Structure 1
Amino acid sequence: MEYPTFLDHIRRESARFRAVLAPCDPAARVPACPDWDAADLLWHLTEVQWFWAHVVRTRPAPPDEELPRPARSASYDGLLAAFDEHSAALVHELEAAGPHAAAWHWSPVQTVGTSFRRQAHEALIHRLDAEQTAGTVTPLDAALAGDGVLEVLDVMYGGDAPAWGRVEVGTSLLRLDLVDLGTAIWVRPSMFFGTDPGSGKVYDGPHVQVVDDPGSPAHAVIAGSAADLDAWLWRRRDEEGIAVSGDPATYDAFRACVDQPLD
């Protein structure tokens, strides 16, 4: 997906998110994040978009750990106004910087383009949260959702190991068929080991590795539409309509890799 398309999706999904939440009961619970109500969800995406606008604006320096955060308004109208301000700022900063400029990111690729992509998917999933909260769910864009399946596997749940860790790549293969797009994503359920030198936290657990088509049969296959698979991997829907076949152990190993909550 081209970077201008990601930017268009940030605009479009953010606008839909706002339109759905504006008339919503601020106390309505968010089904995928039951500790949140509609006001919390609105503030969450506001803070996310504020933070990444700041990161891009002050690139390439990493954000200051003591960076003061914006104050949360006590009124729902104030929250909506803050969202309008910070969402517009994010789009402005991304557009002004362009995707190829160096910028800090928590993931390995240190460019503004990483935020183009990540923030498009952030807005998409929270738009779905808003619609589920309001009871007005509409379809996800298939192309964006297809890239979302790849991004959640290759960035959020997997990817290359940092210098202080290692990945023990598994031997079983699983294929995800995005049936409406006619594409497939191949993964190996694996393990990650390491100790973060900054926090001292020890990591020892499942980790998924996206791999090229190996030219050999998959041990297990998961098939569904791009939108259904994206929402399922983000724990925003159940498995209904998603077909699983092949080796149960391979499927269980994959589920262990993606069995982590994502906000």
Structure 2
Amino acid sequence: MSVAGSRFPNMPPAMTRLAFPDYLEHLRSDSARFRDVLADCDPAARVPACPDWDAADLLWHLAGVQWFWASVIRKRPAGPGEDDPGPDRPGSYPALLAFFDECAASLVAQLEAADPTEPAWSWAPEQTVGFTFRRQAHEALIHRLDAEQTAGEVTGLDPRLAADGVAELMDVMYGGEAPEWGRTEMGEELVEIQMTDVEQSLFVRPGMFFGTDPDSGKNYDGPHLLLAEPGDAAAVVRGKAADLDAWLWKRRDDSGIEVSGDRRVYDAMISAVSEPLT
């Protein structure tokens, strides 16, 4: 079955993308908000979406992530060495804040000086500096939300960045084309994701991935997704992009998100996004 057509433009998968200066500005502003919120937070406060972490762990996590990707861009196009030593965790909360300041400034400076089209290592098929622009803007956005939830000072997500976050989740974090050591078997039916605050739709095809990473020996058989060209949808998921992005990242519940159509196809999509991300 198909569900009645969307009122929104049918967006090809790449059309949610922002300009690279916009990603950089979001990275800068969300990192600053993350830091400001945590500066006045109890270091022992628990992080709701990551209950094994407290505020100090969250601060250390994003500092380490930004340290790592600043290093990747600085050393491009070479990837990280297996024996590269990482930073030592500072011993106090003020020192953690100072270390985060250094890491955030370094990542922004490295990206400011780089051409997004230059080759650079990533763990994804996209091997350019531009991957880090986009990925780290979304990383800062979600962890800014984590910081706000930890401190009880939640503010809204930027709708355009959130819409691209939904696309990135479907195409990079939970889906995408198979590597050479894997294969996909995708279903015929589509799920339409209607993002009401930006009046855009994305289409995703649920299916299965099969493969074992020859480097790690880890098997990745399981539900999978591919962003698809627009078509007749068997199921529709509808809500604000900001709510959908936070929901798919397991940072909020599904209140305000509407589901219609074939529940079996919807459930296949949900199975593919069930593993929590940090």
Is the TM-score greater than 0.5? yes
Cα deviation digits, residues 138-159 of structure 1 (max 9, x gap): 0000110010000011000000
Counterpart CA distance in 2 for 1:112 and 1:203 is 27
Counterpart CA distance in 1 for 2:120 and 2:210 is 27
* Aligned counterpart for 1:173 among listed residues 171, 181, 190: 190
Q: Counterparts in 2 of 1:194-209, with a 5 A limit?
A: 194-209=211-226
Counterpart CA distance in 2 for 1:203 and 1:86 is 32
Structure 2 residue 238 is matched with structure 1 residue 234: no
Amino acid at match of 2:99: A
Amino acid at match of 1:166: R
Amino acid at match of 1:229: L
2:276 is paired with a residue whose SS is coil
Deviates more, 1:42-51 or 1:246-255: 246-255
Give the equivalent residue in structure 2 for 1:103.
Answer: 120
Q: What displacement does 1:100 show?
A: 1.0
Q: What displacement does 1:98 show?
A: 2.0
Counterpart CA distance in 2 for 1:251 and 1:151 is 19
Give the equivalent residue in structure 2 for 1:184.
Answer: 201
Give the equivalent residue in structure 1 for 2:9.
Answer: none
Give the equivalent residue in structure 1 for 2:53.
Answer: 36
**TM-score after normalising by structure 1:** 0.98
Amino acid at match of 2:201: A
Q: Counterparts in 2 of 1:68-217, with a 5 A limit?
A: 68-214=85-231, 216=232
Give the equivalent residue in structure 2 for 1:249.
Answer: 264
2:243 is paired with a residue whose SS is helix
Counterpart CA distance in 1 for 2:56 and 2:260 is 40
1:27 is paired with a residue whose SS is coil
2:192 is paired with a residue whose SS is strand
Q: What displacement does 1:180 show?
A: 1.0
Q: What displacement does 1:169 show?
A: 1.0
Amino acid at match of 2:211: G
**TM-score after normalising by structure 2:** 0.93
2:203 is paired with a residue whose SS is strand
Q: What displacement does 1:4 show?
A: 0.5
1:209 is paired with a residue whose SS is strand
Counterpart CA distance in 2 for 1:18 and 1:202 is 37
Give the equivalent residue in structure 1 for 2:65.
Answer: 48
Identity %: 63
Q: What displacement does 1:135 show?
A: 0.3
Cα deviation digits, residues 153-206 of structure 1 (max 9, x gap): 100000010011011111221100001111001011110001111112222100
Counterpart CA distance in 2 for 1:203 and 1:164 is 11
2:86 is paired with a residue whose SS is coil
Counterpart CA distance in 2 for 1:3 and 1:127 is 20
When the two chains are superposed, the root-mean-square deviation of aligned CA atoms in Å is 0.6
Amino acid at match of 2:140: A
In the alignment, structure 1 segments of 5+ residues that lack a partner are none
* Aligned counterpart for 1:61 among listed residues 69, 78, 84: 78
Runs of 4+ in 1 over 4 A off after TM superposition: none
2:221 is paired with a residue whose SS is strand
